[in-house]
Structures are given as C-alpha cells and as structure tokens.
C-alpha cells in the first residue's frame, strides 16, 4: 500500500485562481498506472482552494456570515479540481474514486472528532484507487 501526495503547487499554478496543470497531471497519472501499486492518492487544493480560503479568512474559523459564502465556494472549487484529477487518473487507466474529507471528518479542539476511514479500505478491497483532497470541513467550535 502506498500513499501518494500530489501537491497543490504541482498540479495547479497557485498564483492563478483555478489554474489546473493538465499535462503534468496526465504525466503523473501515467506514471502511477505504470507503477501498478495499490495506493491512496491525496492532492492539495492549490489555486482552487487556497486563494478563496485566504480571501474569506476561513482558517480563522467563523467570524461573520460572509464566510459561509466562502466556505461553499471553496468546497465547490476543490471538488472541481478533484474532478480534473479523477478524470486524468481514469483516462490513464486507473480506477479512481473520490472520498472527500468533508463527508468523512469533523474536527473539534484541533483534533479529529468524528471520522469514517473505513470507506478507504472498502474501496481498496474492491481494487479501486481512492483519491482524497485538500478540503474544507466542519469544526465543532469554530464552525469550519
């Protein structure tokens, strides 16, 4: 079992909002396929997530209602990036499926409060490649 982290700055241009490096991702997807190993792929949010998260100060936790818009937009954009990654992996012969952190995690007091990591092994047992991502998640005290 291998865990492969594809940094957001590798697969996106972090200086340009929503700038996906498809050629680089396709090359990575081909190399991952050639390796022929069971793996979990993790990719960063890059320019799809960090620019919006910073704009709305999401790392501060809830400060004002305006941030709900930022949380929603950030989630939407990182899912778009995740779709690009999945498309590349699948077009290059990998059977990739997405597991988004916002669906399986909840934080509290700077720790994981609730989790469902079993879903990874469920997919891996059926020979899928699981892909997770830099994401926004709920946080008990700070809201997000």
- Give CA–CA dist 140/114, Å, rounded: 10
pLDDT at 109: 82
pLDDT in tens, 2-57: 999 999 999 999 889 999 999 999 999 999 999 999 999 999 999 999 999 999 99
**Domain over 2-139 is classified CATH 3.10.105.10:** no
- Give the distance between the most distant pair of CA atoms in the chain: 48
pLDDT at 12: 98
Nearest to 105 by CA among 86, 76, 133: 133
pLDDT at 110: 80
pLDDT at 43: 98
Alpha helices in 6-95 (DSSP H): 8-11, 22-35, 46-55, 66-91
Label the pairing between strands 105-108 and 138-139: parallel
The structural domains of the chain, with segments of one domain joined by +, span: 2-139
pLDDT at 142: 84
pLDDT at 14: 85
- Give CA–CA dist 85/20, Å, rounded: 9
- Contact between 144 and 102 under an 8 Å Cβ cutoff? The reply is no
pLDDT, mean of residues 67-84: 97
Terminus-to-terminus CA distance in the chain, angstroms? 31
Q: Give the predicted TM-score (pTM) of the model.
A: 0.94
Work out the mean pLDDT of the chain and round it to a whole number. Answer: 95
């Amino acid at each position: 079992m291998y865990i492969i982290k594809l940094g957001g700055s590798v697969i996106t241009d972090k200086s340009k909002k929503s700038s996906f490096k498809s050629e680089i991702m396709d090359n990575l997807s081909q190399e991952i396929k050639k390796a022929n190993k069971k793996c979990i792929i993790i990719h960063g949010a890059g320019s799809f997530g960090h620019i919006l998260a910073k704009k709305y100060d999401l790392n501060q936790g809830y400060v004002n209602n305006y941030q709900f818009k930022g949380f929603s937009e950030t989630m939407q954009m990182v899912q778009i990036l995740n779709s690009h990654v999945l498309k590349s992996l699948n077009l290059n012969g990998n059977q990739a499926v997405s597991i988004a952190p916002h669906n399986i995690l909840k934080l509290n007091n700077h720790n994981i409060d609730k989790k469902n990591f079993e879903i990874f092994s469920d997919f891996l047992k059926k020979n899928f490649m699981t892909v997770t991502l830099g994401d926004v998640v709920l946080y008990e005290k700070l809201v997000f």
